Structure 1
Amino acid sequence: MMLPLAQPLHSAGYAVLLFDSRNHGKSDSDDFSSLPRFADDLEHALDWLALQPDVEATKLAALGHSVGAAAALLVASRRRDLAAVTSIAAFADPESMMRRFLTAHHVPYFPLGRPVLCYVQHAIGHRFSDIAPRNTIRQIRCPVLLIHGSDDTIVPAEEAMEIYARRSGDQVRLLILAGDHDSSREAERHADELIDFLDQAIDQKNAEQFKLSAI
């Protein structure tokens, strides 16, 4: 799904690592997948990248789609070494997302849905509010680009607007594109804007490093 974005990024001079999270592609299986586990897998990938001799550890950026996008925002909220984050089609709150899912399958919140949501929080070891993008966005200090399809019926574009509205500074951009939930192809057609965002974020990171070295 993410391959359409690899070529324009590579052509612009960026090294690109694409990896499969657990339970995806050829990666190891696990008992279940979750937003926190997506984030853990991303952190391991970033830690590995930072140790590579031909990688500048101060210029790492993360890009994710859907749950992967929410995971990228979660990772960025708890580490300060990222230069930028791009989120494509992230939901604002996993609880709201799951409640929509239950409603679509005609499962009433009372008395059945609420215990299900409580069990899921217990199973993943995190409260939904602690990992919700609409809350983690406030803890992120690096530049963030939020991309969302205007015709997304799985995660409505209003959720991207909600995340954007909860930002803590002017380092967050919002880009609403034509397209549905799987809008990587549409994002590819707007690759120039993504690359411009990354270029500016890297320049900002370089300036910060220069100031620190000067001190």
Structure 2
Amino acid sequence: MNGIAVLIAVFLAGLFCLRWAIHRGFRIVGEMPTATPADFALPYRQLQVVTANGKILFAWMIAADSAGPAPAIVLMHGWGANAATLLPLAAPLHRAGLSVLLLDARNHGQSDADSFSSMPRFAEDIEAGLDWLKHQPDIDAGRLGLIGHSVGGAAALLVGSRRNDVAAIVSLSAFDHPERVMRQTLARAHIPYRPFGWLICRYVERVIGHRFDHIAPVNTIGKIHCPVLIGHGADDTLVPCAAARAIHARANPPTELHILADSTHEGPADLQGLGEELARFIAPILRR
């Protein structure tokens, strides 16, 4: 009997440790911004945007030089990053006549902390940015776009799949399915998928409040009907190019796929050059 009690105690202790490890993995130790729009000679104002759970997002608004309401775009960074990492993309977009809103997701940069981060929460923060833009008198609420990187790119596709007020989307370096990401993470930790990894994935779904299949970019892309550009680095070792091709294969036309030569998960060395390419895609759509 004592032996059974010990086994039960060890099992419960193991479950507690596993739960602690999972929740710790969804907390961010993110970088703080190392630049501002002023470093790129961009006019801007610093502001706060209210998101889900009553949390406050830090943001920079770079207004277009326009006499009337201008089209606008929300930029969302990836896991562990912040708005400053996408500043090199903002200058070409601004020169193309777009207003640009750069956000720090919750638990990132200078935004409020929350209990955990997840791709659906990145999507909630993007939606908060869109809703804020729609109430600005100098913004054309009918011409809004999204650009997201990595988890932010997957979140942009999720937002586009459930809203009809997004005119164009750029998703950079996004994964194709959360389950595949989890399996890779578990394999690196030498945790077998059956049965432990499978149980962990189901627990994570419960924590974030979403089934992986429902939020996977390979599935959300088919629900998007605005123009989409899927960009992915040819030298991305964190998320292989196969993920971008899998997403593109399930997309509605006129979705475009660009595999970027000499580009890693974080993008090419010349991020401003990438920004010019993105502006050539998205600005004509938003200026129609």
**Counterpart contact for 1:64–1:71, Cα < 8 Å:** yes
Instruction: Indicate which of 188, 195, 218 corresponds to 1:111.
Output: 195
Would you tell me which structure has more strand in proportion to its own residues?
A: 2
C-alpha displacement at 1:54, in angstroms? 0.3
Q: Secondary structure at the match of 2:128?
A: helix
Please show how residues 1-215 of structure 1 align to structure 2 within 5 Å: 1-168=85-252, 170-177=253-260, 178-183=262-267, 185-203=269-287, 206=288
User: Between the two proteins, what is the percent identity of the paired residues?
Assistant: 51
Partners of 1:191 and 1:65 in 2: CA distance: 12
Partners of 1:185 and 1:69 in 2: CA distance: 19
What is the alpha-carbon root mean square deviation over aligned residues?
1.3
C-alpha displacement at 1:157, in angstroms? 0.8
Letter in 2 for 1:193: E
Partners of 2:149 and 2:269 in 1: CA distance: 12
Partners of 1:195 and 1:129 in 2: CA distance: 31
Provide the TM-score with structure 2 as the length reference: 0.68
Q: Secondary structure at the match of 2:116?
A: coil
C-alpha displacement at 1:106, in angstroms? 1.2
Cα offsets for 1:130-151 (capped at 9, x unmatched): 0000000000011001010011
C-alpha displacement at 1:200, in angstroms? 3.3
Structure 2 unaligned segments of length 5 or more: list them: 1-84
Would you tell me which structure has more helix in proportion to its own residues?
A: 1
Partners of 2:101 and 2:236 in 1: CA distance: 27
C-alpha displacement at 1:23, in angstroms? 0.3
C-alpha displacement at 1:179, in angstroms? 1.1
C-alpha displacement at 1:188, in angstroms? 2.9
**Counterpart contact for 1:149–1:179, Cα < 8 Å:** yes
Partners of 1:95 and 1:188 in 2: CA distance: 33
Q: Secondary structure at the match of 1:32?
A: coil
Cα offsets for 1:72-115 (capped at 9, x unmatched): 00000011111100001000001101111111121111232111
Structure with higher Rg: it is 2
Letter in 1 for 2:259: I
Which of structures 1 and 2 has the larger relative contact order (alpha carbons within 8 angstroms, sep 6+)? 1
Structure 1 unaligned segments of length 5 or more: list them: 207-215
Letter in 1 for 2:162: R
Partners of 1:133 and 1:142 in 2: CA distance: 15
Runs of 4+ with deviation above 4 angstroms: 184-187
Provide the TM-score with structure 1 as the length reference: 0.91
Q: 1:73 to 1:186 in 2, by over 3 A?
A: farther
C-alpha displacement at 1:194, in angstroms? 1.3
C-alpha displacement at 1:185, in angstroms? 4.2
Provide the residue aligned with 2:70 in structure 1.
Answer: none
How many residue pairs were aligned? 203
Partners of 1:96 and 1:131 in 2: CA distance: 13
